[in-house]
């Protein structure tokens, strides 16, 4: 179900201040007790809050209330993104592979003055390492996927949209960027990454007992 902003506020206050009486809740919200009554009774009925006589409201950990699709779509990229590992365009393929192993990631982001210019994945590295090129000499700039042929997301985008892009474009990982104007042209600052691992982590959290 969807909560109203006031219901969300009540749940937050109860989580932080439990046990809390309806008087104290009303005072914190600047409302009368009677204005609160309907919300408190619905939250109690569906098992989010528990009303303990003479004690006050507590947040019910046993609540089996679900996540709505809306809730899932409300999780933002900025809430789950992780640290991107970046290399310069001139980095040799060999050194980039070392970075890949040292950081234990599957994708490196290639930057030029902090601006995203490309992406290299394990797939690119396998192709190159199988070939005849000297990986100690070839720079990643040669083997990377180059902007603008890169699927991007921004911090305010939903993880749901990011997940759809990951599936549609068959990639493991998307760069999270912030658009800026530099010398009259649009550039993309790398802010983070969101990957199938980020989404698997969310899935585990959704399945946890609350």
- Could you list the residues that contact a second copy (CB under 8 A)? 1-2, 42, 45-47, 63-73, 94, 97, 100-101, 104, 106, 122-123, 125-127, 129-130, 135, 158-160, 163-164, 166-167, 170, 172, 195-197, 199-204, 206-210
Report the residue number, 80 or 187, with the smaller CB distance to a second copy. 80
Q: What own/partner pairs with CB < 8 Å and gap ≥ 24 does 153-157 have? A: 153/77, 153/177, 153/194, 154/77, 154/178, 154/179, 155/76, 155/77, 155/78, 155/81, 155/191, 155/192, 156/76, 156/77, 156/78, 157/76, 157/77
Report the residue number, 69 or 113, with the smaller CB distance to a second copy. 69
**Minimum distance between the CB of residue 116 and a second copy, rounded to whole angstroms?**
22
Q: Are 181 and 167 in contact (CB under 8 A)?
A: no
**Minimum distance between the CB of residue 180 and a second copy, rounded to whole angstroms?**
29
Tell me which H or E stretch contains 58. strand 56-59
59: exposed, middle or buried (Cβ count in 10 Å: 0-12, 13-18, 19+):
buried
Report the residue number, 130 or 181, with the smaller CB distance to a second copy. 130
**Minimum distance between the CB of residue 8 and a second copy, rounded to whole angstroms?**
14
**Minimum distance between the CB of residue 46 and a second copy, rounded to whole angstroms?**
5
Give the integer Cα–Cα distance in Å for 54 and 50: 12
**Minimum distance between the CB of residue 143 and a second copy, rounded to whole angstroms?**
13
**Minimum distance between the CB of residue 157 and a second copy, rounded to whole angstroms?**
13
Give the integer Cα–Cα distance in Å for 163 and 77: 10
Closest CA to 195 of 106, 85, 100: 106
Report the residue number, 26 or 135, with the smaller CB distance to a second copy. 135
Report the residue number, 26 or 42, with the smaller CB distance to a second copy. 42
Report the residue number, 183 or 208, with the smaller CB distance to a second copy. 208
């Amino acid at each position: 179900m969807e909560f109203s902003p006031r219901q969300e506020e009540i749940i937050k206050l109860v989580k932080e201040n439990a046990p809390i009486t309806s008087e104290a809740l009303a005072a914190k919200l600047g409302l009368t007790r009677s204005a609160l009554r309907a919300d408190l009774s619905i939250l109690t009925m569906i098992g989010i809050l528990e009303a303990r006589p003479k004690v006050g409201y507590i947040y019910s950990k046993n609540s089996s209330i679900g996540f709505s699709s809306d809730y899932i779509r409300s999780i933002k990229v900025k809430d789950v993104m992780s640290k991107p590992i970046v290399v310069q365009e001139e980095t040799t393929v060999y050194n980039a592979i070392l970075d890949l192993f040292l950081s234990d990631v599957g994708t490196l982001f290639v930057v030029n003055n902090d601006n995203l210019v490309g992406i290299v994945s394990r797939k690119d590295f396998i192709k190159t390492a199988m070939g005849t090129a000297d990986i100690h000499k070839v720079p990643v700039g040669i083997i990377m996927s180059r902007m603008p042929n890169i699927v991007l997301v921004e911090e305010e985008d939903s993880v749901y949209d990011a997940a759809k892009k990951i599936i549609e474009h068959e990639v493991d990982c998307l760069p999270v960027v912030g658009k800026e104007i530099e010398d009259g042209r649009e550039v993309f600052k790398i802010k983070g990454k969101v990957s199938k691992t980020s989404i698997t982590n969310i899935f585990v959290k959704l399945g946890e007992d609350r």
